Amino acid sequence: MKKILPLLLLCCIAYSVAAQSKAPKWLEKQRKAVITVTTYGKDNKVLHTGIGFFITATGETLSSYTLFNGAERAEVTDAVGNVFQVASIMGVDELYDVVKFKTNVLKSVAFLSPAVEPLSIGATVYAIPYSAEKKSLYQEGTVSEINKLKEPYGYYKTTIPLPSNEWINAPVLIETGEVLGLIQADASGKKDNTYVLSAGYANSLAVTSTVMLNTAYTQIGIRKAWPADANQANVTLYLLNSTQDAKTYLETLNDFIATFPANSDGYQSRALHYAYRRAELSETTPLTVAACLARSLEDFNTAAKHNSSKGNALFEKARAIYTVAASDTTLTDKNWTLPAALAVLQEALTTDNQPLYHQLEGDIRLAVGEYEKAYESYMTVNRSKAASSASFYWAAKALENVPGANIADMTALMDSAFLKAGSAPTEEKLAYLLERIEYKTRLELYPEAVADYNLYYDMQNGNVGDAFFYYRGQARFRSDDPRGALEDMQEAVKRNPEEPNYLAEEASVYIRLENYPDALVAVDKALSIVPDFASCHRLKGICLIRQGDKAAACESFGKAKELGDPLAARLIREHCQ
């Protein structure tokens, strides 16, 4: 009996208010649009219940964001007891506690059309709660205050009292039966007035690529609707890729394609997903690796049908095949080989001879060992406006493998790669500089190599390791700058005193400077670390012979020869026989 009394009291309050004036003619019809919302958490237990209402015949609905925060699924129940599942979240505003969502209704439903705003102060309004009873409850009042929300929408204060929290989110309608907004409680806790959030504003909420990953959306586990604009939807699809596992992202891709069936990007993205994440999909779905690759090709073919550029569609397909084939040599499917990638790419080139396609052609030919043809492909790119640091770099690397190629030509290409890489000291630009140093060293352009080492040092703001000083020291030594070389070798040893190669190079520089005592100190330290260091035994012999200790020198030469030093035999012939 105690449970029945509050309900009876509520009905009496509503009835007494309604009795003050004649009920609007549209009341019975419009109340059918009011529904209850039930949300469920991850444990599938009820999370929240509340009120909402349909705003379109196809099931678009408004209610409170609070009901959906943390929800994994939700359902609505209409005035006659029909239950519909919530399909997607269409927009939220956490600050104003409102959500717009799509419900899977089976046929057209009664709905409330948003009223034209702004409304005037003093206008009569009616609140309708959810009711499964035949008797239509309502409350009447007037607009007493209007605050601007977003042109032309408002946030309204009304004289309608709040009998209980069951009335929160109930629709408030104007005299002609359109919905002004949703009831919200007075923040102070008072019950004699209510506030109304514009239904027009709530209806304007939409998912965009810029808000999809906001916490207000991510805290709801229910699927989000796609932006209406296909380009924005594509951006959203791209952003979701890095936030979802392979299985979930496949479901996202399927949903995107179902929403935009004529959009080639959806099929292409799914084709890439099948190809690149085939291992994960084979572990989390019934699909095998072979099935993933087969579906990938099917999607590439479908994407081509919806792509206005046949060449681009073929290029993307060729690039995917190349990427998979180059990274997985265990595949036996003839459709996923480097020759297969080249065949598709050549078809793309026949359709549309783009420089970018030649870049990929170079990559494929380089991978199969066709170095001269790869070089020619890269040079086609380099002679176009599409030339890039990467195209010059790979042209140099391809030429490096062509018999009889000129190292000076490789150096010139690496110069271009370095210059094309921009002014910032990126890892890419620094890598090109090191490659250029290597070419200059092979050309015995040691002063130029030292200049590049200095440039590298400056670009790194001096943040270099011990190996840098070792290699620059070698270049300085060969540039006839032994004192500069000694400075670098000493710095290398200082930073890594247990590296025997640094000590051996330091000894070599001391010998060049005819400082045999310090050379012997460096050699002995290296031999204490690696006793069988053949070249150090040779260097020790040189120091000793120049200090006049022939017997000890010859002993060191003999040890060096025994350990396989290629120069020891000549030194023995010169000094020990």
Q: Identify the sign of the CA torsion 556, 557, 562, 564.
A: positive
Positions in the chain whose pLDDT score sits under 70 = 1-21, 134-135
CA distance 469 to 188: 71
Q: Identify the sign of the CA torsion 138, 139, 144, 148.
A: negative
Predicted confidence (pLDDT) per residue in 420-473, tens digit = 999 999 999 999 999 999 999 999 999 999 999 999 999 999 999 999 999 999
The pLDDT value recorded for residue 185 is 85
Write the burial class of residue 237 (CB in 10 Å: 0-12 exposed, 13-18 middle, 19+ buried): buried
pTM of the predicted model as reported, rounded to 2 decimal places: 0.77
- Per-residue DSSP letter, 404: T
Q: What are phi and psi of 148, to 5 degrees?
A: -70, 135
The pLDDT value recorded for residue 7 is 41
The pLDDT value recorded for residue 187 is 81
- Which domains are delineated in the chain? 4-204 (2.40.10.120)
Question: Are 507 and 526 contacting, i.e. CB atoms less than 8 angstroms apart?
Answer: yes
CA distance 333 to 318: 15
The pLDDT value recorded for residue 186 is 83
Quote the distance between the C-alpha of residue 231 and its chain's center. 17
What does the radius of gyration of the chain's CA atoms come to, in whole angstroms?
A: 39
Beta bridge partners of 197: 155, 182
The pLDDT value recorded for residue 249 is 96
In residues, how long is the chain? Answer: 577
The pLDDT value recorded for residue 1 is 35
The pLDDT value recorded for residue 210 is 82
Question: Are 478 and 484 contacting, i.e. CB atoms less than 8 angstroms apart?
Answer: no
CA distance 271 to 276: 9
Measured CA to CA in angstroms, residue 387 lies from 59, 356, 428, 434 at distances of 53, 9, 16, 21
Question: Are 365 and 342 contacting, i.e. CB atoms less than 8 angstroms apart?
Answer: yes
Q: Token pair of 76, please?
A: 């609505």
H/E segment holding residue 340? helix 338-351
- Per-residue DSSP letter, 151: T
Quote the distance between the C-alpha of residue 571 and its chain's center. 62
Nearest to 185 by CA among 204, 162, 163, 166: 162
Q: Token pair of 577, please?
A: 């026989």
Alpha helices, DSSP H, located in 79-185: none
The pLDDT value recorded for residue 190 is 85
Beta bridge partners of 184: 195
Please list, residue by residue across 36-49, b when 16 or more beta carbons sit within 10 angstroms of its beta carbon and e when fewer do: bbbbbeeeeeebbe
CA distance 78 to 88: 18
Predicted confidence (pLDDT) per residue in 217-254, tens digit = 999 999 999 998 999 999 999 999 998 999 999 999 99
For residue 87, how many other CB atoms are within 10 A of its CB? Answer: 16
The pLDDT value recorded for residue 21 is 62
